[in-house]
Amino acid sequence: MSGTLFIVATPIGNLQDITLRALSVLKEADIIAAEDTRHSLKLLSHYGISKPMISYWREREQARAEELIRKLLEGKSVALISDAGTPGIADPGTVLIRRAVQENIPVVPVPGPSAFVAALSVSGISTEEVIFIGFLPSKKSQREKLLKELSLEKRTLVFYEAPHRIMETLSAMEQVFPGRVAAVAKEITKIHEEVFRGNIPEILLRMAESKIAGEYVVVIEGRTDETLCSVQDALAEVISLMKKGLGRKEAVKRISETYGLSKKELYDRSLTEEIS
């Protein structure tokens, strides 16, 4: 009989943010698979846990996954942890989890901290419908293309960003999401935790006076009907629907009826736009 793969969420900063169940699983597991064993040793040592460890940092995730699958098939139990938060959520772990599912190995979640959930909960922005994007592409052109596509999204958007790119990314968002309410959280659960709220220009001004450090979570409200303020914006939504396979006439009909715009004008303008 195979062992069990436990997906264990660990603190994102404050070591006290770990569940009793997570500690129990870590103590009882045969093996702890850690993103970075050196980093995880701080947590394990704090709670007096000493177990055989295997690192599965991203560059070797595929090879390590196969090694761990063999041990699971031998009947060993494995607790999978990342440096912080929930494995597989913008962290390594997905490869191993997918392979375990393919091998019919039991995969059991041990829920706990997640940076984007923590940031969202204090953002003051709607949590009814949310899209988690994670880290944006590092290339400027790809990043701007994705942000432009997301500008039509009505659901709340959540991003992760590194300290060396946060100001550049927010500046790009300022152009794509004008007037939107946003929240930027840094160092969540840590000593220098801080949440900046307001529109993006306001946040940029306040962050310029703050020390840039740690990873950031950016929460931006979705587009409301009031933000569709020009024919160009409406045209962008028509093009978006066409890219998804809707016919031109039907796409124009939906958007013009929704926002009370001229069907003929939208249709004629759409003929001059390329769908790339």
CATH number, domain of 81, equals 3.40.1010.10
Question: 1-23: b or e for each residue (b if 16 or more CB lie within 10 Å)?
Answer: ebbbbbbbbbbbbeeebbeeebb
Q: Are residues 123 and 108 in the same domain?
A: no
- Considering only CA atoms, which of 222, 218, 221, 220 is closest in space to residue 185? 218
Query: Does the residue 204 lie in any domain?
Result: yes
Q: Are residues 16 and 97 in the same domain?
A: yes
How many domains are contained in the chain? 3
Amino acid 276: pLDDT: 47
The parent domain of residue 63 ranges over 5-113
Q: Are residues 56 and 81 in the same domain?
A: yes
Q: Are residues 194 and 178 in the same domain?
A: yes
The model carries a pTM of: 0.79
Bridge partners (DSSP) listed for residue 219: 158, 183
- Considering only CA atoms, which of 222, 241, 199 is closest in space to residue 130? 222
Note whether 223 and 152 are within 8 A (CB): yes
Q: Are residues 9 and 103 in the same domain?
A: yes
- Considering only CA atoms, which of 19, 29, 40 is closest in space to residue 78? 29
Q: Are residues 133 and 95 in the same domain?
A: no
Q: Are residues 105 and 137 in the same domain?
A: no
Query: Does the residue 84 lie in any domain?
Result: yes
Q: Are residues 122 and 209 in the same domain?
A: yes
Query: Does the residue 194 lie in any domain?
Result: yes
Q: Are residues 219 and 238 in the same domain?
A: no
Out of 113, 147, 182, a domain closes at 113
Query: Does the residue 191 lie in any domain?
Result: yes
Structure tokens at 273: 């736009």
Query: Does the residue 192 lie in any domain?
Result: yes
Out of 93, 113, 133, a domain closes at 113
In angstroms, the CA 91 to CA 85 distance is 9
Residue 33 CB burial class (10 angstroms; 0-12, 13-18, ≥19): buried
Q: Are residues 219 and 188 in the same domain?
A: yes
Query: Does the residue 247 lie in any domain?
Result: yes
- Considering only CA atoms, which of 214, 162, 217, 178 is closest in space to residue 195? 217
Q: Are residues 188 and 210 in the same domain?
A: yes
Out of 81, 113, 145, a domain closes at 113
CATH number, domain of 153, equals 3.30.950.10
Whose tokens are 């947590």? That residue is 43
Query: Does the residue 66 lie in any domain?
Result: yes
From the first residue on, what is the mean pLDDT of each consecutive set of 10 residues in the chain (276 residues)? 95 96 98 94 97 87 93 98 93 94 98 96 96 94 89 92 95 88 96 94 93 94 69 78 88 77 77 63
Q: Are residues 170 and 207 in the same domain?
A: yes
Amino acid 271: pLDDT: 83
Query: Does the residue 276 lie in any domain?
Result: no
